[in-house]
């Protein structure tokens, strides 16, 4: 059968689409490609019918279409945006034309049997865009209905010459019916797409053709499988957003194997905090141009480029944060009541900032700074302080639970959140963190798995509160993405916090 190279364009936000209401967008994609004439060639591909206008359409007559793939007789995988919050969907299988009314296999699936990734947000296209449908009645496998295997967790797409095949029920020329097609493509490395913003989970693929024929946007292919030509297994799932130049996006399936095997194993994202819950947390905004710790990374940044960090309100005039958040800056901005429309932004100059005399950039320990305000803060329901632990307080019970607060990148956006964790002693942290980690003065904890962090975001400078006594026991100062997070215990710093010995904005270089 003659193969026509395909063009992909997936998930384009549109205001008046077939998936109005809570969905907010429809899927698009495979326009040209080889039409599947014999379903035995693609018996693992399924279709999804979703009520397009729920809950406004009482009759639920108008349906939208997505693609899916079959993992087993009871497991179907598709995009989260295809099924998100739908009261029910239909799964069709063994068909070349998904929009046919008279399907031999058409199974209704109620909402309680549809699980989308708990980190998915319909506002952030591409990120965590995966869902699992569980059938109560198993499919009957045949020459036209079957399953496909997933690649292993350690599988890596590391050869841009590798060919993948994408499948989908995309509508050609916006004309029904939705016919199953497939198309070969090469994936594009992260280096080649470095200047294009996309969720960090996605990879691009290209057919090598330009999208200049006016047939770019058609619904139907989202959720379709991306299969390796090398091993015949699933390597990805169509997703993403509008692309040009014959490009599309897919989620590497290796990132979601845990979810696929057990959707409940993924911890929900902690909800954003209210102003009252975050009353003792503040924000530090520092001009990137001056920060000693970031000069190399931000050598070309001007004074208006800001880096954001967390801070802790100790009293009406005392603020605690990380030294590297303020080091070298002639001024910083402090924001309190940060989650309210009545947030207060104060300019703090260099002479109001004190750095611990033992702080050194080559070490994590004593990475602490204290800001003294000239005018006292006004405490209210949304602005307040947190008590410090006593000097003799020891973190020596590994079962103790602490709550970490701070700005975290979750679901693709920055929100102030908290999560509970257990701390680890310094001896357990040092093997992973190396010589720069001072096990005599520092400890660490593990993130809860839902936290995405970068060099400019994360709970850095944020408080750690004991669940036992509701007092400040630590401050986050450094993290390794997805691994260990370093914090400074507060008890050893109490003398310095209450009466700083050093009153200069300096730091040792060794």
Which pLDDT score, from 0 to 100, does residue 480 have? 57
- The pLDDT score that the predictor gives to residue 359 is 87
Residue 345 has pLDDT above 50, yes or no: yes
* C-alpha span between 77 and 133 (Å, rounded): 6
Q: Which helix (H) or strand (E) holds 403?
A: strand 401-410
More confident residue, 439 or 483: 439
pLDDT at residue 320 above 50?
yes
Q: Which residue has the higher pLDDT, 288 or 296?
A: 288
Cα 225–Cα 230–Cα 231 angle in degrees, nearest 5: 70
Which position has the higher pLDDT, 510 or 234? 234
What is the rounded (10 degree) CA torsion for 159, 163, 169, 175?
A: 110
Asked whether the domain spanning 281-384 has the same topology as the one spanning 12-265, the reply is yes
User: Given a cut of 70, is residue 39 above it in pLDDT?
Assistant: yes
Thinking of the domain 401-494, which architecture would CATH place it in? Beta Barrel (2.40)
Lowest mean pLDDT among 60-64, 82-86, 183-187, 284-288: 60-64
The token pair at 381 is 């329901």
Flag whether pLDDT at 236 surpasses 50: yes
Mean pLDDT for 299-327 is 86
State if pTM tops 0.75.
Answer: no
Burial of residue 75 (CB within 10 Å: 0-12, 13-18, 19+) is: middle
What does the pLDDT read at residue 340? 83
Q: How far is CA 501 from CA 166, 322, 354, 370, 496, in A?
A: 64, 17, 9, 12, 7
Tell the residue number behind the tokens 């014959």, with chain if given: 246
Q: What is the predicted pLDDT for the residue at 175?
A: 60
Could you tell me the residue ranges of all domains in the chain? Answer: 12-265, 281-384, 401-494
On whether the 281-384 domain is CATH 3.30.420.40, my answer is: no
Read off the DSSP letter of residue 374.
Answer: S
Tens of pLDDT, residue by residue over 102-133, are 788 999 999 999 999 987 876 566 778 899 99
Strands, sheet with 331-336, edge to edge from the N-terminal-most edge strand = 344-349, 331-336, 281-287, 306-313, 318-321, 369-372, 353-355
CATH number attached to the domain at 12-265: 2.40.10.120
Task: Single out the residue of 95, 77, 27, 508 nearest to residue 263, CA to CA.
Answer: 77
Reply yes or no on whether the pLDDT at 19 is more than 60.
no
The mean pLDDT of the chain is 78
- Reported as a pLDDT band with limits 50, 70 and 90, residue 32 is low
Residue 105 near residue 145, CB atoms below 8 Å: yes
pLDDT > 70 in the chain, percent = 73
pLDDT at 188 exceeding the cut of 70 = yes
Q: 246 falls in which pLDDT band (50, 70, 90)?
A: low
């Amino acid at each position: 059968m003659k193969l026509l190279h395909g063009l992909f364009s997936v998930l384009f936000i549109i205001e008046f689409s077939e998936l109005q209401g809570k969905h907010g967008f429809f899927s698009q994609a495979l326009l040209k490609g080889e039409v599947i004439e014999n379903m035995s060639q693609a018996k693992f591909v399924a279709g999804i019918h979703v009520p397009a206008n729920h809950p406004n359409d009482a009759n639920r007559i108008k349906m939208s279409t997505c693609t899916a793939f079959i993992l087993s007789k009871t497991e179907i995988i598709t995009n989260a945006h295809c099924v998100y919050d739908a009261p029910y969907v239909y799964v069709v299988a063994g068909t070349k034309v998904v929009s046919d009314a008279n399907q031999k296999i058409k199974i209704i699936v109620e909402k309680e049997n549809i699980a989308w990734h708990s980190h998915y947000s319909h506002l952030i296209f591409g990120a965590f865009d995966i869902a699992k449908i569980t059938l109560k009645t198993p499919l009957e496998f045949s020459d036209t209905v079957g399953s496909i295997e997933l690649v292993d967790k350690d599988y890596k797409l590391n050869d841009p010459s590798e060919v993948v095949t994408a499948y989908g029920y995309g509508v050609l020329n916006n004309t029904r019916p939705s016919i199953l097609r497939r198309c070969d493509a090469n994936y594009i490395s992260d280096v080649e797409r470095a200047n294009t913003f996309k969720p960090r989970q996605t990879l691009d693929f290209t057919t090598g053709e330009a999208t200049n024929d006016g047939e770019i946007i058609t619904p139907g292919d989202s959720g379709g499988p991306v299969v390796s030509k090398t091993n015949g297994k699933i390597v990805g799932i169509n997703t993403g957003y509008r692309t040009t130049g014959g490009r599309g996006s897919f989620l590497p399936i290796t990132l979601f194997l845990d979810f696929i095997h057990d959707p409940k194993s993924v911890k929900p994202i902690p909800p954003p905090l209210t102003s009252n819950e975050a009353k003792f947390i503040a924000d530090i905004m520092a001009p990137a141009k001056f920060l000693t710790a970031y000069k190399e990374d931000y050598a070309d940044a001007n004074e208006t480029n800001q880096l954001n960090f967390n801070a802790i309100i100790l009293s009406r005039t005392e603020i605690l944060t990380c030294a590297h958040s303020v080091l070298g800056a002639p001024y910083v901005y402090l924001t309190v009541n940060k989650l309210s429309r009545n947030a207060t932004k104060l300019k703090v100059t260099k002479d109001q900032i004190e750095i611990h005399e033992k702080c050194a950039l080559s070490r994590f320990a004593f990475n602490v700074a204290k800001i003294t305000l000239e005018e006292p803060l006004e405490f209210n329901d949304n602005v307040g302080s947190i008590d410090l632990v006593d000097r003799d307080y020891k973190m020596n019970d590994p079962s103790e639970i602490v709550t970490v607060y701070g700005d975290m990148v979750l679901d693709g956006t920055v929100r102030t959140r908290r999560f509970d964790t257990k701390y680890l002693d310094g001896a357990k942290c040092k093997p992973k963190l190396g010589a720069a980690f001072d096990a005599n003065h520092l400890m660490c904890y593990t993130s809860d798995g839902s936290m995405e962090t970068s060099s400019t975001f994360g709970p850095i400078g944020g408080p750690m509160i004991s669940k036992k006594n509701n007092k400040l026991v630590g401050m986050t100062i450094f993290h390794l993405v997805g691994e260990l997070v370093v914090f400074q215990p507060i008890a050893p710093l109490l003398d310095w916090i209450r009466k700083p010995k050093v009153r200069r904005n300096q730091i040792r270089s060794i």
